[in-house]
Structure 1
Amino acid sequence: MRAICEGIQQLLRERGIPHQVVTHAAVFTSEEAAQVRGVPLEWGVKAMVLKARDHFILVCIRADKKVDFHQVKRWEGTSKIRLATAPEVLQLTGCEIGSVPPFGHLQPLQTYLDQGLLAQEKVTFNIGLHEVSVVMAGKDLTQVMDATLF
């Protein structure tokens, strides 16, 4: 998990993306994260790993929103979608649930990104550890993510 944290920081530096790394008390929910970071909840990026039929996907939404499972089913052309289990998330991303970043995983995942995040002045998310976050401009997410916007 530390390697993912360091890898994401390196990627942001290599791409010249202005960002701030914040170390804080361990957080496990979006609400806890916003409170500890001292930022509005809507700045948070919630990265959710889901299982669609026989593969996994990543859905990244504002932290004050909930995943629309009906919409995801339409995107994936399936009637079955579920949240990935903790062991599945760890195997796919190298991270524990609650510390999954929107990019930088062990395995590539089809990613869907809420385009509303791009309009955010700032976004913040954990980078593989429950106690380390990044703050960056929302518009810069597309420079480090290969995602389908919705």
Structure 2
Amino acid sequence: MSIARKLKAYLDREHVHYDVLPHPEAFRAIEIARALHAPEKELAKVVIMKVDARFVMTVLPAGWLVDLHRLRDVFRTHHVRLATEEEFKDLFPDCELGAMPPFGNLYGLDVYADRSLTEDEQIIFQAGTHSEAIRMRYMDFASLVFPVVAEFHQLHSTVR
């Protein structure tokens, strides 16, 4: 499978420079970072959240975890939890399950990017498959997605 159709069409239509990075099949962001010899902080992972009755896409560095307490403050509700794959599998029809790119805007989802991602010049993320990633400038990503930037990560711990 090649990169997600919607993503490729969008990036090409917007004339944004990006590199497709093939890698051995991997299912965890940390494994992808290692396979690409990329800093874990530059590889972004997507975590789908259920906020009240809607789905929201959060994006944060590969080795970091979502802090639910911080997200409850961001969303100003106590009804925040990780969405299950079963719940969101149909939201990304052109992507392999769990390999969706951080372009929630292409799938009708609001995108929340952890503030730490804004510190790097580039961002690497899954391209809709478990064997390809995309590298592009963070500023290009931000200008296409318009994510809400907030701090909601916790470092190397368990999800709270």
Same fold (TM over 0.5): yes
Which amino acid in 2 is paired with 1:118? T
**Cα 1:96–1:73 shift into 2, 3 Å:** farther
Question: Does 96-105 or 47-56 show the bigger shift?
Answer: 96-105
CA–CA separation in structure 2 for the residues paired with 1:19 and 1:40: 18
Question: Does 45-54 or 87-96 show the bigger shift?
Answer: 87-96
Partner of 1:127: 127
Per-residue deviation, 1:143 = 1.9
Contact 1:123 / 1:137 at 8 angstroms: preserved in 2? Answer: yes
1:57-100 deviation line (CA, Å, top 9, x unaligned): 11111223211111111222221221111122211223445312
**How many residues in Structure 1 have an aligned counterpart in Structure 2?**
149
> Gapped runs of 5+ residues in structure 2?
151-160
Contact 2:58 / 2:113 at 8 angstroms: preserved in 1? Answer: yes
Structure 1 residue 144 corresponds to structure 2 residue 144: yes
Q: Tell me the secondary structure at the aligned position of residue 41 of structure 1.
A: coil
Task: Write 1 or 2 for the structure with the bigger share of strand.
Answer: 2
Q: List, as ranges, runs of 4+ consecutive aligned residues in structure 1 with deviation greater than 6 Å.
A: none
Give the structure-2-normalised TM-score: 0.83
Per-residue deviation, 1:35 = 1.1
CA RMSD, 1 decimal: 2.0
> Gapped runs of 5+ residues in structure 1?
none
CA–CA separation in structure 2 for the residues paired with 1:127 and 1:141: 13
Q: Tell me the secondary structure at the aligned position of residue 118 of structure 1.
A: helix
Partner of 2:66: 67
Which amino acid in 1 is paired with 2:46? A
Give the structure-1-normalised TM-score: 0.88
CA–CA separation in structure 2 for the residues paired with 1:15 and 1:46: 23
